[in-house]
Structure 1
């Protein structure tokens, strides 16, 4: 069969899907990967045939060219609470977070974000699919251009998600509340946007353009949310792009190794940062006397602003997580999926900090309940608190035991190659061409 994989133009959104693409190709299927030209280097370096669509610099342009309507919408959102409250509280599934006004405005705002990237990709992607005729389109959860192309060309549609699927949860709450509103107030910006694209290609809107015919999820079964959308579990297989194992990581460390990594967040604006330079300095100072080897990944602009680097600390730009985490006794990170699931895969206790990923308010308590690690929220993130939690992870056997239970659970999920036969059946069932 022919399989098209579509990604948001951000490498950490694309890379978790690469092993599935390899598995499909190794099984004899034709595979193509697609995104905007912004992602071309990551797409081509994966070794999979690449189809760039749309214009370059789309994410940058989207940020710089907010319309007056979007600016006004942001002002309205600010009246309902802080950015953190608005974008993360809904994961808690509380009545205060899941009100009609909040969900309606969040849907409108998030749709504007999706439009800013996906609209530039849709027509070229549909043209390609009409010619190439994929049997299955696998689209990363923000890449609705893939869902539109699948709807337009009759391909089976699979939505793939690595985090806990809180967005689908909030979508269900939104639809339920929408039905309770007067007919003239039943706004649905997401369905309206997708419906306009469907009509352009001679189709009608279907909720499957939001959910996919089925969902592929990397998250552990004990942490996923119940859903009425068919669910296919997939074991996370680590891939971080081309990388070299550094010399210091090619042997067993002499001391207990702790990795502190905060992903791309430190390369983005302040709103994406889990840990500021000041907080990172506090963390380094607070653990300076511990008998550990602390490896900290941080971009050069962060490293040069640190005033002190303790003797037990190694600063580096990047490390391939799956080469280093197996040698670690603990991992400190911002909740990003690669560090989270790589730590689980190796049975390593983890400390999550900050609040920059959408499911953190749900995932962090589940991690602590499973005794696989600890969490420090943004208001309580201090060097002393990090030290306290890290010492617990290193000294209390319950955390190593909890992390190993999560490792065993993850090992029961099918690998990408084991999932291929199921995808063949699902593609045959749902494609309409």
Structure 2
């Protein structure tokens, strides 16, 4: 069996699909991951073959006619859907069509915003599923329609109706869903995880440990990072900070001994030792924290982070602050046990969700093959 996994070129889009990739490997499936050239080394470090398709993340930003953040807030989603993700889907679809002409997969798995592979799957009658990576953002259905229209305007089939009708793998545990209804018609829960261990051993620490990260996209703002770090340092805690693989921790300046900073550390190796998490509230970090029942101080800086942070705050497992509010927010998070209790409830809900192996068993059964026959 062949499975093609397609990812928008971002860590937060690829890594949530790794458990399903591992489940496919355990079944003996031939797995190939297609994404931008910038993420291909990450795929290869996972021990999975990489196919390079579409533009890199930097190239995708560089060709935008204007900077998204300079537009009025109400115009940003439609602009990103058309010129960023829609244009990216067209590029990736053309490269994947060439791949599929000689290597036809039995199943295509793509993240929520990577619809180039879905476009090819729709045209070729290949079963396809969407793998979510976080709580649904308000306006997802409208965003999808604009993205699909951009694909159709390039002379390719609009994949959105078929995508919304196909299975959607929902990693969001009970109690963390946003207020808007999901646009997908066939929602299947899949257990989130905190990533794969990398063999890192955290040096012994005498005080409670706070994990601090601003992820891999909005992390290139040293002023914001320093402001968040300074707020954390107002408390008697040790801090493990990751600046992102492309950011040297030296940008943070001279650090006191209670701060351990590195470009990247495996979450799965760090979080079991932590008391709390302070982050931008990217979905991967948020899910990693909740898998370990850790309360979370969210400092959203853009993209889907405000929606994630709002869902987190509504669950009772965290607080949402600006960089200037970190000191007060972290004080509450550490002092009030209700945040930890809510995070542990989310962790229990996540642990009860179907595993990737169980979900894959359902996807590759007769039901999916019957649906594939109906697509031809």
TM-score interval (norm. to shorter): 0.7 to 0.9
Contact 1:332 1:353 in 2 (8 A): yes
Counterpart selection for 1:123 from 89, 94, 108: 94
Indicate if the aligned counterparts of 2:36 and 2:57 stay in contact, CA closer than 8 A: no
Question: Which digits, 9 at most, give the CA deviation of each residue in 1:348-406, with x for residues without a partner?
Answer: 11111033232x34332332232211111xxx431xx2122212222222111111111
SS at match of 2:134: coil
1:101-180 paired onto structure 2 within 5 Å: 102=75, 106-166=77-137, 170-172=139-141
The counterpart of 1:208, out of the listed 161, 170, 178, is: 161
TM-score (norm 2): 0.86
2: CA distance between counterparts of 1:43 and 1:294?
A: 29
Q: Shift in Å at residue 330 of structure 1?
A: 0.6
Shift of 1:39: 2.2
**Which residue number corresponds to residue 411 of structure 1?**
351
Residues 1:327 and 2:273 are matched in the alignment = yes
> Using a 3 Å threshold, how does the CA distance of structure 1 residues 149 and 287 change in structure 2: closer, same or farther?
closer
Which of 165, 190, 201 is 1:234 aligned to? Answer: 190
- 1:201-228 Cα deviation digits (max 9, x unpaired): xxx5453355361211211233335335
Compared CA separation, residues 211 and 292, structure 1 to 2 (3 A): same
Other-structure match for 2:362: 422
CA contact under 8 A between 2:121 and 2:128: conserved in structure 1?
yes
Which structure has the larger Rg over C-alpha atoms?
Answer: 1
- Considering fraction of residues, name the structure with more helix: 1
2:68 and 2:320 map into 1 onto residues whose CA distance is: 29
Report the CA distance shift for 1:212/1:15 in structure 2 as closer, same or farther (over 3 A).
Answer: farther
TM-score (norm 1): 0.76
Determine the structure 2 residue equivalent to 1:193: 150
Contact 2:118/2:159, CA 8 A, preserved across alignment = no
> Alpha-carbon deviation of 1:6?
0.6
SS of the residue 1:32 aligns to: strand
Q: Structure 1 residues 350 and 215 mapped into 2: Cα distance closer, same or farther (>3 Å)?
A: same
Q: 1:45 to 1:60 in 2, by over 3 A?
A: same
Q: Secondary structure of the equivalent of 1:335?
A: coil
Q: Contact 2:24 / 2:360 at 8 angstroms: preserved in 1?
A: yes
CA distance, structure 2, for counterparts of residue 313 and residue 210 of structure 1:
45
Determine the C-alpha separation between the residues in 2 that align with 1:246 and 1:297: 15
Gaps of 5+ in 1: 87-101, 176-187, 269-275
Q: Would you say how many aligned residue pairs link Structure 1 and Structure 2?
A: 369
Return the offset for 1:52: 2.5
**Stretches of 4+ moved more than 6 A in 1?**
none
The equivalent position to 1:396 in structure 2, one of 336, 340, 349, is 336
> What is the alpha-carbon distance in structure 1 between the residues aligned to residue 47 and residue 253 of structure 2?
41
Structure 2: state its 5+ residue gaps. none
TM-align CA RMSD:
2.9
**Residue 173 (structure 2) pairs with residue 220 (structure 1):** yes
SS in structure 2 at match of 1:304: helix
Which residue in the other structure is 1:95 paired with?
A: none
Distance 1:122 1:306, change over 3 A: closer
The separation in 2 between residues aligned to 1:36 and 1:265, in whole angstroms, is 15
Alignment correspondent of 1:261: 213
